[in-house]
Chains A and B, each alone.
Chain A
């Protein structure tokens, strides 16, 4: 018997687990335990929990470069994720994949660092679901920066014409790395999704209850064979595109960063043989707006999924403390085990 309303304390606990785990990952990355890039799902907890916690055995997931929260919520051990990020032989993928290339065959979950690649992957998982496991579904997670990739739009079409049980989940923070997405995306996403024949659902991506409700509708549709949906959620990324995001660095240490950038920018602004003064001022304005937008934005504001959920649950503070203490202890133990083993 499926739930008809979300279990908020359960969702909250999963979101908190994901939050504390990713904050620990951030600190370990900062301390040099984890190499390369690190894209976190901080800010996406409600979107992931509201959908992933409704999945059943046999459902599949195609993840983007922010795969940590969905995998944690799908039941992958945090130890194996953290060890993977640290390149350990006993990590989820033997230390061979790293955080952008996470694969869990038992959970039918694949990841890719290629923007938009989740679309075709979810379509294929959906095809296998339709033929081999009727009633199961597949998810594709991607950002709004991916919606201009041909392969993603081609997957929308394939899923629509074959009526595949796919949920295309768009996590929209209106920023494609350092480009404002509305400046490089034509039309409206709702129109685009409907134009491909997808059912369109939208909700506040910081509100896990709202996410759960639209996901419930889309999942029911998909499970009974009525075809794919496009789920559209707004969210924020408090750590930017990835850890060490230059825009965030400028916002946090404007003095240091601007001291480095300003001399060459000013030289470029006055150098002979180039664009008109007006156009140069236009470019400088674009850059300073981008920096200002990042610096001035109250990072979480009303977009913190955890704060929002706490408000809705109206739990006793002691109950909240008990959840927090249990989750904190779990994550601290995970970190201790991984760093001791390394």
Chain B
């Protein structure tokens, strides 16, 4: 299997699907340059640049999906979906129920997310919990190229709306575009195994809502998505010399949530730390705690999340986002 980047994996999976299904179209700002390879291969009718008007083109993508297309609609950053929230909240997510199950919107929304490069709190959010709160939306957050390509096929094949979130630290293209800007005077804490990895010659979809256990351990389980998964793996590595064996679970999607994998790991280890780059309150970490309580699982619980608006200053940004030392402190805290 060749080594590819996170971006190349998504592009390869998309190209494979677009070659097979003429209903797949890409809509979004600047896609003629951002997705130039697909633009050249599939032409302007299938890779269509939009005005900066998220409410219009995300809304239009929902109804285009209802009427037979399979749109992949892109926004520059998940933060900007605030502008188009109505299309997702009140329309895409409601359609199946409102139509008595007779109408679907097979739509993929691509949204770069996450911080760690000093872009300020309006351009660094994760927000997957916000979308997962809404019944009727799938929210996928891959942590490596192989999962990214496979989950893109999953999203394309699904009959419902799926938010496909790409962390900017995993995406060479986005980090180059927004963080580096052609400079070699700035550096970023990029998880190597997340930004590059193996990819197949022919992509196959993954089941939706199936977590992956990336490391075994009996003493506690670290649960995360996206870049957080890599921070957990680093933390688990550092806990090992202290005789603490940590399991690491990559949820891969926040909605649907793999409750079975979470409960099994919690039952076995009795200690759970959720690492979530999204906001702490009313989010993934609280949801996991509720799942465990509802299943009558007695486990010690900790969470390492983003508790406040993300500061612009990179030092304070780093301290605000989940990092390895915060994970270690929390993990050690619940070992006692």
Contact = CB atoms under 8 A, between A and B. Distances in A.
A binds B: yes
Interface string B34-45: 101111111111
B265 interface: no
A165 interface: no
A286 B117 CA distance: 31
A112 B122 contact: yes
Contact of A150 (B46, B56, B183): B56
Interface in B42-93: 42-47, 49-56, 79-80, 82-83
A179 B32 contact: yes
Interface stretch (A73-81, A213-221, A273-281): A273-281
A188 to B, nearest CB: 15
A265 B122 CA distance: 33
Contacts of B37: 264-265, 267-268
B43 A279 contact: yes
Interface in A235-290: 242-247, 249, 261, 264-265, 267-269, 271-276, 279-280, 282-284, 286-287, 290
B99 interface: no
Given A37-B178, A116-B52, A148-B53, A275 B41 contact: yes
A131 to B, nearest CB: 28
Contacts of B38: 268
Nearest to A275: B43
A63 to B, nearest CB: 13
A135 B43 CA distance: 54
A290 B49 CA distance: 13
Given A32-B183, A113-B122, A244-B183, A148 B32 contact: no
Given A113-B123, A148-B53, A265 B40 contact: yes
A17 B71 CA distance: 47
B181 interface: yes
A272 B20 CA distance: 11
Contact of A283 (B34, B44, B121): B44
B185 A269 contact: no
Contact of B123 (A37, A279, A282, A283): A37
A176 interface: yes
B119 A114 contact: no
A31 B185 contact: yes
Interface stretch (B105-113, B146-154, B295-303, B312-320): B312-320
B52 A176 contact: yes
A148 B53 CA distance: 6
A272 B41 CA distance: 9
B32 A114 contact: no
Interface stretch (A90-98, A199-207, A295-303, A320-328): A90-98
A286 B43 CA distance: 11
Given A264-B37, A273-B19, A287-B33, A35 B43 contact: no
Contact of B32 (A93, A97, A185, A286): A286
Given A97-B312, A275-B42, A282-B44, A177 B30 contact: yes
B33 A37 contact: no
Nearest to B33: A178
A290 B316 contact: no
19 contacts: A29-B181, A31-B185, A32-B185, A35-B117, A35-B179, A36-B179, A37-B179, A96-B309, A98-B313, A116-B52, A149-B55, A150-B55, A181-B51, A184-B50, A274-B42, A274-B43, A279-B44, A282-B43, A286-B39
Please provide the 7 A-B residue pairs with the shortest distance between their CB atoms, ordered closest to farther: A244-B181, A35-B118, A32-B185, A87-B313, A275-B43, A98-B312, A279-B43
